[in-house]
Every structure is written in structure tokens, then in C-alpha cells.
């Protein structure tokens, strides 16, 4: 009997939200997506122990900084993951560059060059950037150079509109984090899938994109339960943690398609400029808080990685 995961794969590209090599081998996703938290966890696992020791030793002898070694390790993990999936590996630009367009572009180019030196072409990599105004502008430059991007930490419609205008290849709206914020704001309320704020946010973005012929891929991310995933069945892509993938694989219930291009409502295209973007983001307390929190947390894990390397040099 087909599982809910099998049914989901018939209508949505499934991406693994993990850097766990064993999980990726078992679950066989098309793509995998990483962030600093995932990279830090991966590098602390036995699977990458030899790589970590080797890169730190080589970097120390060559007089490299902890940051340069961290970049080598990040690309090393990404290279290993690229050998396990047929599609793309997302690799994130440092969170502390989220408000610096030029530095983000420079780091992205360096990451792509490092991948190419490892035999992984840029067609196998998505550069992840925070969906700040500056991050979106960096994506616009990179996309024009043929370096495709994944705009992450996306919580508001204005971010989605600006990413589409910039020609971003893919966006990652964070379903669970949106829901977390509204649940806390409403005294711990639990939302059914059809009223879940995170689910509704992605549906609104998907409808806007399909109504206006926008090619940017919508990839729902940061799920808290399989109900949220099922409520977005048919979305272009969904990046899902191994635990939830396993739950879907064990679920034999029928999974109907919820989202499809032919159901687009015909919502009008929005003209977005910097002033409107900043105002609408500022007016959305949830999006403002979760974007800032996400950048801080990713940077905190990046700093932990740098400290780990420095202590071992």
C-alpha cells in the first residue's frame, strides 16, 4: 500500500531538511538543504570526524583562519551530500552578512568556486541568503551571473514579492516558526491545519506566484507536524526533517492534492520597492521578530563552529 510520503512525492519535490548522511541515504530525497545549525550538528557526528580533523590540520599548517576552515568544512559537507542526492544542495552565506549585499555576493562566489574545485558544478548548488532587502539584492546579482539562490528566513508576503521580482530561483517560507509565534501570542493556542498561520502564509504566496506566472519555486520549510505538510500537498517543494518523513512513510491514509497551479485565484501583481518592503516588513511584528531571531540564531551556531575549530587548531 502506498504511503502518504509516496503520494506526496507524486505531486511535490521532497527535500531533506538534514545533514545526516545516513538519513539521506535511507530517505532518498531529491535535494537537501542545510543551514548553520545543520552543518554544526553534522560536523559533530562520527560520519564527518575524519573530514573535520583533516581540514583543521591542513588549515592550521597553511595558516588559515577558523573562518576559512569553517568554509572548507561547509563545502566539504555539501560535497558529500551532493554525492547522495540527484538534485541540489543548499549552502548558506554567513548570517552576519545578511545586511551587506557586496559581501554576500563575494562569499557566494567563493563558495561556488570551492565547490567547483571539489568537482561539484554550480548547477548542483543553491546559495542560501536571508530574505533581507540586502540579501534579496545579492540574489538578484548572483542570479544574473547564473548562480541560483534559495532565499531563506522568509515570513512575510512582501519578502516573497521582492524575491520574485529579483528573479530568485527558490524561496523557503518558514511554516513552523510562523505558527510558533502566533501560538505564543495567543496563549499557546493549537491550530488546526486549515487555520494554521504558517500554512496560510505559504498558500497565499503560492497563489500569488501562480496567479502571476512567477517561476520562483515555493519550498515550504520548518514544519512542526505532518498536518502542516499535508495541508501544503502540491506545493512546488517541501523540505522536511527525517522524523516527519518517517511519519509520512508510515502513514497509509489517502493524501489529496491541496495546491495546484490551476486553482490560482488570479490575485493582482504587486509593485514592490525598497520603501514599501521595509514598511510592510516593519508593520508585521511576527515577520520582523522571526527574521531577526533567525539571523541571530544562525550566526550563533556559526560562532559555535568557529569556536570549535579554534579550540582544535
Residue among 102, 104, 113, 204 at smallest CA distance from 160: 204
Between CA 28 and CA 15 the distance in angstroms is 9
Copy the grid coordinates of residue 285.
Answer: 511584528
How many other CB atoms sit within 10 Å of the CB of residue 121? 10
What DSSP string describes 126-151? EEEEESSHHHHHHHHHHHHTT--EEE
Taking the CA atoms of residue 233, residue 238, residue 239 and residue 243 in that order, the dihedral angle to the nearest 10 degrees is 10
Given 64, 122, 128, 290, the catalytic residue: 128
Q: Bridge-partner residues for 170, per DSSP?
A: 150, 217
DSSP E strand stretches across 18-114: 31-33, 89-92
The terminus-to-terminus CA distance of the chain in angstroms comes to: 52
Residues β-bridged to residue 125: 89
The Cα 218–Cα 236 span in angstroms is 5
Q: Which residues are registered as beta bridge partners of 31? A: 15
Helix (H, G, I), strand (E, B) or coil at 233: coil
128 labelled catalytic = yes
Neighbour count for residue 184 (Cβ, 10 Å): 11
Nearest partner of 109 among 70, 76, 149, judged by Cα: 149
Active centre residues (catalytic): 128
Amino acid at each position: 500500500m502506498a504511503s502518504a510520503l509516496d503520494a506526496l512525492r507524486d505531486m511535490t519535490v521532497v527535500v531533506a531538511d538534514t545533514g545526516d548522511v545516513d538519513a539521506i541515504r535511507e530517505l532518498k530525497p531529491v535535494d537537501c538543504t542545510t543551514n548553520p545549525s545543520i552543518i554544526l550538528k553534522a560536523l559533530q557526528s562520527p560520519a564527518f570526524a575524519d573530514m573535520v580533523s583533516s581540514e583543521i590540520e591542513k588549515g592550521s599548517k597553511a595558516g588559515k583562519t577558523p573562518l576559512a576552515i569553517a568554509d572548507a568544512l561547509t563545502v566539504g559537507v555539501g560535497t558529500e551530500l551532493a554525492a547522495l542526492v540527484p538534485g541540489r544542495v543548499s549552502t548558506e552565506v554567513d548570517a552576519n552578512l545578511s545586511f551587506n549585499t557586496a559581501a554576500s555576493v563575494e562569499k557566494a562566489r567563493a563558495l561556488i568556486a570551492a565547490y567547483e574545485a571539489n568537482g561539484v558544478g554550480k548547477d548542483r548548488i543553491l546559495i542560501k541568503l536571508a530574505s533581507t532587502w540586502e540579501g534579496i539584492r545579492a540574489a538578484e546579482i548572483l542570479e544574473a551571473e547564473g548562480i541560483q539562490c534559495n532565499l531563506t528566513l522568509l515570513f512575510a508576503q512582501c519578502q516573497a514579492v521582492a524575491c520574485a521580482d529579483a528573479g530568485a530561483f527558490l524561496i523557503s517560507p518558514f511554516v513552523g516558526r510562523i505558527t510558533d509565534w502566533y501560538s505564543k501570542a495567543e496563549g499557546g493556542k493549537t491550530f488546526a491545519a486549515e487555520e494554521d498561520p504558517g500554512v496560510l502564509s505559504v498558500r497565499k504566496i503560492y497563489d500569488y506566484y501562480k496567479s502571476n506566472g512567477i517561476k520562483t519555486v515555493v519550498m515550504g520549510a520548518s514544519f512542526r507536524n505532518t498536518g502542516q505538510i499535508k495541508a501544503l500537498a502540491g506545493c512546488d517543494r517541501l523540505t522536511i526533517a527525517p522524523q516527519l518523513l518517517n511519519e509520512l512513510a508510515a502513514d497509509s491514509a489517502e493524501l489529496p492534492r491541496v495546491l495546484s497551479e490551476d486553482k490560482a485565484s488570479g490575485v493582482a501583481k504587486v509593485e514592490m520597492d525598497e520603501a514599501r518592503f521595509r514598511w510592510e516588513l516593519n508593520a508585521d511584528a511576527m515577520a520582523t521578530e522571526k527574521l531577526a531571531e533567525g539571523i541571530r540564531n544562525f550566526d550563533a551556531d556559526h560562532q559555535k563552529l568557529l569556536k570549535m575549530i579554534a579550540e582544535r587548531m
